[in-house]
């Protein structure tokens, strides 16, 4: 069920009441209830793939305890590889099998032969890219002795399947989330109110901004041959907002929902479009995934230590793998490649950590001229790369970029969605003024101190959600 | 917990009250489907796609049969013959005996052409009829929440449609001069020509048409009708589905009569080559032998 569906609007309060009023006296019962509710939630997508989650849970639970039991390094390494192969094996078969087969056939046909290899008619299990990485982080951390494996199977199953973040993240670390299942949760009023507020803001992003942008993005990209450069650029920019609001909106709803149940999930997006350079962008975009790759791939490869060759190699590996994680299509790989190209100069010139601890215009209302230019350049680079992310194939993306790069860029756009542009501008302003928070309207209580005013603001947001709802689009990242 | 719950419930109650109040203003201009889901279950049904939704006026049939009719036809994307429409009809039907049911059929409503349909999905699976249980609630808050917005209710987006309570979709205030009609027809021909490239008649849809007929026959009479369209669209349909007539034979035999009004294609006028102009809906009823 989608977060912005009527079914979820009934599911959430029922689960909330049962969680806090019926199962709260017993931690095991409460965790078991979370497992049941999460399996029900996932089963509403496709019950056939529940077996994958259960199997993955059982494998990694067992391997975690075996890793703790055995002290021999070779055995421990072998166990770790079993976990990696099982988890990535599922991912490989369900997500990448057909891609490899098709690419293999295409490569061979360049030599004049076309091997007869069948592709599989496989459905992609929702959320597989997320929960496999989540369970992998558990076994890797246990292997590294960063985490003691749990003997509490129910708590572990709840960690793997926790419904707010099961299908599209944030990809939680076992070191953060698992301990929360091993201790009693206490209801905190402020946390719950904050959670509801974050859910509301997530819905605004998803329903009002993302779905409305999606309508025009689809028109422009699906008929790109009919449009001039300025229209295609507009489409790319709108897609940038669509994917940001879609994904970060979902994360907000996930984090807000978790708060209602007394859990703290990690921040997944930190206003990435206000980044002053690409390195900062990648510290603020899909934080759970980028830090996962940093900790489990980039640093073990050597990170930014070593020779320039190693640095370049590691950066390309990370971004190409990240691109590939997003989908079984060469467009995602090229998208990753482009971002690697953007990132490398900063790394090699050692300018990739210049904006680490501050937010743009930290103590000011407005950015300086330099900061504004930096943000515009960063956003432009990111938007051009998004063309590959959205396009159907490389040819499609190249054609679009060629047209953007032509003189028709200076023509009047053929599609001018005024309402959507107003929505985007208002949204950017709200995000700008809330950029120092976890999410834009987190500190609304400091701005609107009186409760009637705050409630009026919430009603207004709900009115906008209901009035400006675009055609319902599935969360983009569900296809991953 | 108590303060949180009491505030949350109070907030939800205010929201619900606002929504329930606004919902009462939803009407035939809110969208092209809503009112069909607000009327009670029906004994006599008119079924099919938009040609039937716009082309068959229940009030005319009511004059003849002296019983109310309900037009439960939608459009080619939402109510082609198939499992979704079949189940929805079952929910809308009142199960009263001695009913009269008019089913509009044509090649398009029995075919698939979208890419997803080639691998088993149906184009109507994501539409409002699919899995929709509440087909007779007034106001129908579930439908309003799911498929409309506050603005649709307060400021309906399209001002030239009016869905009547009997389900007839009236299109008004559109230019019907020859230039406008030709432009719309040209666009329609282009659309259907594109669809024709991949369209194929579906055995599954044909089977569900038969199932629908057999189901409705338990409760009365069932008549099939092929509504007229412009000659251009008719020839596209004939070229695309040469086996249409043979495919519907079993359905014709199961029904109580089949009226092929395509013989009148060139005698009637259309707003876009596909839908009869409103002023001629009554005329076609007058011209066609009612006792079919």
B146-171: per-residue pLDDT in tens?
888 888 888 887 678 899 999 999 98
- A455 is written with which tokens? 């409630």
Judging contacts by C-beta atoms under 8 Å, the chain A residues touching residue B146 are 6
A173-187, A374-388, B148-162: segment of lowest average pLDDT:
B148-162
| Percent of chain B surpassing pLDDT 70 | 94
Q: Which of A190, A466, A467, A468 to mutate to test the interface with B (most CBs of B within 10 A)?
A: A466
B292 domain residue, yes or no: no
Task: Report pLDDT for A112.
Answer: 67
Task: Report pLDDT for B31.
Answer: 86
| Bridge partners (DSSP) listed for residue B59 | none
Looking at the partner chain, which of B15, B142, B149 has a beta carbon nearest the beta carbon of A469? B149
Q: Cα–Cα–Cα angle for B45, B46, B47, nearest 5°?
A: 110
Q: Coil, strand or helix: which one is B102?
A: strand
Kindly determine whether residue B1 and residue A459, on different chains, have CB atoms separated by under 8 Å: no
More confident residue, A94 or A359: A359
Task: Report pLDDT for B111.
Answer: 94
| Bridge partners (DSSP) listed for residue B42 | B93
Q: Calculate the average pLDDT of chain B.
A: 89
Q: Respond yes or no on whether ipTM tops 0.90.
A: no
Task: Report pLDDT for B278.
Answer: 66
Q: Coil, strand or helix: which one is B170?
A: strand
Q: Is B15 on the interface with A (CB under 8 A)?
A: yes
Q: Cα–Cα–Cα angle for A179, A183, A186, nearest 5°?
A: 120
Judging contacts by C-beta atoms under 8 Å, the chain A residues touching residue B149 are 466-469
Task: Report pLDDT for A230.
Answer: 95
Judging contacts by C-beta atoms under 8 Å, the chain A residues touching residue B119 are 121
C-alpha separations of A81 from A67, A88, A325, A412, B235 in Å: 11, 10, 19, 56, 64
Kindly determine whether residue B4 and residue A462, on different chains, have CB atoms separated by under 8 Å: no
More confident residue, A92 or B54: B54
Span B13-21, average pLDDT: 92
**If residue A459 lies in a helix (H) or strand (E), which one and from where to where?**
helix A451-467
Span A319-333, average pLDDT: 89
B2 domain residue, yes or no: no
Q: Coil, strand or helix: which one is B71?
A: strand
Task: Report pLDDT for A476.
Answer: 57
Chain B nearest-CA distance from A457, in A, is 12
Number of H helices, E strands in chain B: 12, 9
Task: Report pLDDT for A118.
Answer: 60
- B262 is written with which tokens? 């395509």
Task: Report pLDDT for B173.
Answer: 83
Rounded distance, CA A83 to CA A135, Å? 9
Backbone angles phi, psi at B224, to 5 degrees: -100, 145
Domain count, chain B: 1
Q: Coil, strand or helix: which one is A78?
A: helix
Kindly determine whether residue B151 and residue A455, on different chains, have CB atoms separated by under 8 Å: no
Q: List the CATH number of the domain containing B35.
A: 3.40.50
Q: Which of A2, A190, A208, A467 to mutate to test the interface with B (most CBs of B within 10 A)?
A: A467
Task: Report pLDDT for A115.
Answer: 62
A135 Cβ neighbours under 8 A, 6+ residues apart: A56, A57, A60, A83, A87, A160
Q: Is B10 on the interface with A (CB under 8 A)?
A: no
Kindly determine whether residue B8 and residue A189, on different chains, have CB atoms separated by under 8 Å: no
Is A286 designated active site? Answer: no
Residue A474: pLDDT band (50, 70, 90) is low
Domains of chain A, by residue range, sit at 6-185, 190-276+355-479
Q: Domain of B33?
A: 25-287
B241 domain residue, yes or no: yes
Residue B292: pLDDT band (50, 70, 90) is very low
Task: Report pLDDT for A169.
Answer: 86
User: Phi/psi class of residue A350: alpha, beta or left (left: φ > 0; alpha: ψ in -120 to 50)?
Assistant: left
Among chain A residues, CA nearest to B120:
A121
Question: Which pLDDT tens digit goes with each residue over B76-115?
Answer: 999 999 999 999 999 999 999 999 999 999 999 999 988 7
Task: Report pLDDT for B289.
Answer: 44
Span A449-465, average pLDDT: 93
More confident residue, B152 or A374: A374
Question: What DSSP string describes A354-391?
Answer: TTSS--TTTTSSS--HHHHHHHHHHHHHHHHHHHHHHS
Question: Which pLDDT tens digit goes with each residue over A81-137?
Answer: 999 999 988 888 887 777 776 776 777 676 666 666 665 556 677 888 888 999 999
Q: Is the pTM of this model over 0.90?
A: no
Question: Which pLDDT tens digit goes with each residue over A2-57?
Answer: 888 888 999 999 999 999 999 999 999 999 999 999 999 999 888 888 888 999 99
Judging contacts by C-beta atoms under 8 Å, the chain B residues touching residue A192 are 4
More confident residue, A395 or A472: A395
B57 domain residue, yes or no: yes
Residue B228 reports pLDDT greater than 90: yes
Question: Which pLDDT tens digit goes with each residue over A135-160?
Answer: 999 999 999 999 999 999 999 999 99
Backbone angles phi, psi at B144, to 5 degrees: -60, -40
Q: Coil, strand or helix: which one is A474?
A: coil
Residue B284 reports pLDDT greater than 80: no
Task: Report pLDDT for A412.
Answer: 93
Rounded distance, CA A260 to CA B146, Å? 25
Task: Report pLDDT for A122.
Answer: 63
B10 domain residue, yes or no: no
Among chain A residues, CA nearest to B156:
A467
Residue B291 reports pLDDT greater than 50: no
Span A448-458, average pLDDT: 94
Kindly determine whether residue A459 and residue B14, on different chains, have CB atoms separated by under 8 Å: yes
B272 domain residue, yes or no: yes
Task: Report pLDDT for A471.
Answer: 61
Question: Which pLDDT tens digit goes with each residue over B56-77?
Answer: 999 989 988 889 999 999 999 9
Interface of A with B (CB under 8 A): 6, 20, 121, 187, 189, 192-193, 196, 455, 458-459, 462-463, 466-469
């Amino acid at each position: 069920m989608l977060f912005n569906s009527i079914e979820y609007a009934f599911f959430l309060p029922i689960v909330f009441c049962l969680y806090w009023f019926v199962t709260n006296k017993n931690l095991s019962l409460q965790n078991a209830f979370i497992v049941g509710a999460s399996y029900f939630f996932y089963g509403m997508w496709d019950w056939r793939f529940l077996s994958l989650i259960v199997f993955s849970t059982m494998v990694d639970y067992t391997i975690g305890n075996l890793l703790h039991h055995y002290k021999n390094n070779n055995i421990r390494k072998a166990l770790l590889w079993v976990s990696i192969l099982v988890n990535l094996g599922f991912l490989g078969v369900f997500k990448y099998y057909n891609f490899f087969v098709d690419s293999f056939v295409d490569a061979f046909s360049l030599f004049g032969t076309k091997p007869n290899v069948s592709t599989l008619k496989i459905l992609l299990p929702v959320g597989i890219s997320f929960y496999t990485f989540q369970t992998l982080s558990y076994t890797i951390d246990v292997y590294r002795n960063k985490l003691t494996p749990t003997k509490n199977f129910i708590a572990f199953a709840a960690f793997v399947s926790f419904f707010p973040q099961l299908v599209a993240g944030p990809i939680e670390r076992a070191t953060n989330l698992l301990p929360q299942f091993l201790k009693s949760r206490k209801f905190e009023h402020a946390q719950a109110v904050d959670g509801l507020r974050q859910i509301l803001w997530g819905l605004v992003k998803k329903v009002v901004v993302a779905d409305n942008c999606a309508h025009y993005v689809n028109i422009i990209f699906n008929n790109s041959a009919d449009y001039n450069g300025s229209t295609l650029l507009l489409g790319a920019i709108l897609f940038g907002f669509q994917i940001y609001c879609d994904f970060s909106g979902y994360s907000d709803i996930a984090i807000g929902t978790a708060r209602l149940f007394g859990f703290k999930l990690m921040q997944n997006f930190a206003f990435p479009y206000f980044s002053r350079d690409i390195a900062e962008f990648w510290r603020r975009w899909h934080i759970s995934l980028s830090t996962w790759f940093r900790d489990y791939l980039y640093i073990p490869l050597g990170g930014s230590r070593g020779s320039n060759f190693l640095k370049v190699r590691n950066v390309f590996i990370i971004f190409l793998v990240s691109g590939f994680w997003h989908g079984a299509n060469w467009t995602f790989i090229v998208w990753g490649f482009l971002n690697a190209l953007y990132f490398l100069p900063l790394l090699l010139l050692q300018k990739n950590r210049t904006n680490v601890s501050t937010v743009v215009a930290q103590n000011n209302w407005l950015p300086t001229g330099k900061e504004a230019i930096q943000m515009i350049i960063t956003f432009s680079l990111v938007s051009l790369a998004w063309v590959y992310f959205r396009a159907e194939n490389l040819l499609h993306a190249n054609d679009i970029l060629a047209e953007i790069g032509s003189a028709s860029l200076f023509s009047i756009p053929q599609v001018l969605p005024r309402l959507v542009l107003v929505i985007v501008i208002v949204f950017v302003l709200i995000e700008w003024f809330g950029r120092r928070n976890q999410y834009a309207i987190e500190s609304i209580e400091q701005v609107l101190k009186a409760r009637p005013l705050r409630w009026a603001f919430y009603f207004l947001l709900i009115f906008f959600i209901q009035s400006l709802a675009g055609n319902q689009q599935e969360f983009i990242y569900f296809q991953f | 917990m108590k303060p949180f719950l009491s505030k949350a419930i109070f907030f939800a109650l205010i929201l619900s009250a606002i929504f329930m109040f606004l919902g009462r203003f939803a009407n035939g201009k809110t969208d092209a489907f809503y009112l069909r889901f607000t009327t009670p279950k029906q004994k006599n049904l008119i079924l099919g796609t938009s040609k039937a939704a716009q082309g068959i006026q229940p009030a005319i049939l009511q004059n003849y049969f002296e019983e109310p009719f309900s037009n439960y036809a939608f459009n080619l994307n939402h109510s082609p013959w198939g499992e979704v429409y079949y189940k929805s009809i079952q929910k809308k039907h009142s199960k009263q005996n001695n009913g009269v049911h008019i089913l509009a059929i044509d090649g398009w409503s029995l075919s698939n052409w979208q890419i997803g349909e080639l691998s088993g999905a149906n184009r109507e699976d994501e539409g409002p009829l699919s899995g929709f249980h509440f087909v007779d609630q007034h106001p129908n808050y579930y439908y309003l929440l799911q498929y409309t917005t506050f603005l649709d209710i307060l400021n309906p987006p399209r001002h030239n449609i009016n869905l009547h309570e009997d389900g007839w979709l009236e299109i008004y205030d559109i230019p019907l001069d020859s230039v406008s009609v030709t432009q719309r027809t040209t666009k329609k021909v282009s659309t259907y020509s594109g669809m024709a490239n991949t369209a194929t008649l579906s055995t599954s849809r044909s089977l569900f048409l038969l199932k629908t007929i057999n189901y409705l026959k338990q409760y009365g009479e069932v008549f099939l009708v092929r509504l007229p369209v412009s000659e251009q669209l008719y020839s596209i349909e004939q070229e695309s589905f040469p086996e249409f007539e043979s495919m519907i034979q079993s359905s014709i035999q199961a029904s109580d009569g089949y009226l092929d009004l395509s013989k009148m294609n060139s005698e009637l006028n259309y707003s876009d080559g596909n839908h009869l102009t409103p002023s001629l809906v009554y005329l076609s009823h007058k011209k066609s032998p009612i006792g079919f």
